[in-house]
Structure 1
Amino acid sequence: MEDIVKRYFESRKDVAFAFLFGSQARGNATIRSDVDIAVYFHPKKRRPLEVEGEVFYETEDRIWTDLERLFNKEVDLVVLNRVPATVGASAIKGTPLVINDWGLYLDFMLVVTDIAEDFREFIITDYMERAGIERRDQS
């Protein structure tokens, strides 16, 4: 099935990259599990890379419908152009289905993983301060 989906995305020129993530990618899906697919569309503005918030891509619904037909399962289609960095960083840890634009993928990966790491550090520091735990030097 993964090969069929890879071919599907390879034929789509509007998608810069796509990943399978979640339980299907981890190999612990059940019969009830949906299929989580993350796509990054070629953005309306090429640079700088930024979250596009309210932008809707005209082919989103078609892709979602096609994927549900291919998998014969419920599909959760995540548009990476408008997700928080933590979601984007998690999605690209999955299985790549296609990377049509390596430059854009690398830019995205660097931006979201950097922001997600900063957020993680903020959460850890905040928790430790609230709990009164002294942090050891990381060096």
Structure 2
Amino acid sequence: MRPKSPATLLRERLPQLKRLFASDERILAVFLFGSQTDGYATPHSDVDLAVLFARPVSFQDELALHVAVAEILGTERFDLLNLNQASLILRQRAISGRLLYERDPIRVSDFIEQTMLAYIDFVPDLRAFYRDYDASLEEAYGLRPG
């Protein structure tokens, strides 16, 4: 019998994960993002979870959460992203995924709004960066993006 994919394990054990998240008052929200939500997942893909905390947590607290999620899923083929410490690009990507758990809709909505507004302001700079990057690749290696 073939082992179950992380995505299958997540679907089967989502109620247990939601109970875990609800039992930790520091967790405001959890998003599923990455290949599992953008249509590029394969049976070998891991699961990407982004956690929004109500207040700063220690690295040990993050590790404890990782262990608890691994015990429920029965696999370590997943990543946990701390949204409170993530870059703007990763925050935007995570909130564009699927909301799995939400403790406080107002605070989560505020976080999403702040992230989207900052990202919208950042997009012109990001496009300029990619344009310059593509030009430097073409100049150095004769490569054309495409």
TM over 0.5: yes
Give 2:72's match in structure 1, choosing from 70, 95, 102.
70
CA contact (8 A) 1:86 1:113 kept: no
Structure with the largest fraction of helix: 2
Aligned equivalents of 2:55 and 2:19: distance in 1? 22
Give 2:61's match in structure 1, choosing from 50, 59, 62.
59
In the superposition, relative to structure 1, how do residues 110 and 17 fare at CA in structure 2: closer, same or farther (>3 Å)? same
Residues 84-123 of structure 1 correspond to what in structure 2 (within 5 A)?
Answer: 84-123=87-126
1:33 pairs with 2:36: no
1:9 pairs with 2:30: no
Q: CA deviation at 1:37?
A: 0.6
Aligned equivalents of 2:127 and 2:95: distance in 1? 23
Aligned equivalents of 1:115 and 1:17: distance in 2? 20
Q: CA deviation at 1:121?
A: 1.8
Task: Give 5+ residue unaligned stretches, structure 2.
Answer: 1-11, 136-146
Aligned equivalents of 1:80 and 1:124: distance in 2? 23
In the superposition, relative to structure 1, how do residues 26 and 8 fare at CA in structure 2: closer, same or farther (>3 Å)? farther
CA contact (8 A) 2:32 2:50 kept: yes
1:4-38 deviation line (CA, Å, top 9, x unaligned):
32232122211011111112233542222111110
SS in structure 2 at match of 1:17? strand
Taking only aligned residues, the RMSD between alpha carbons, in angstroms, comes to 2.3
CA contact (8 A) 2:31 2:95 kept: yes
Letter in 2 for 1:82: Q
Q: CA deviation at 1:111?
A: 1.2
CA contact (8 A) 1:86 1:115 kept: no
Aligned equivalents of 1:67 and 1:27: distance in 2? 23
Q: What is the percent sequence identity of the aligned residues?
A: 30
Higher RCO (Cα < 8 Å, 6 or more apart)? 1
Letter in 1 for 2:127: I
TM-score normalized with structure 1 length: 0.73
Letter in 1 for 2:97: G
TM-score normalized with structure 2 length: 0.70
In the superposition, relative to structure 1, how do residues 66 and 25 fare at CA in structure 2: closer, same or farther (>3 Å)? farther
Aligned equivalents of 1:120 and 1:71: distance in 2? 36
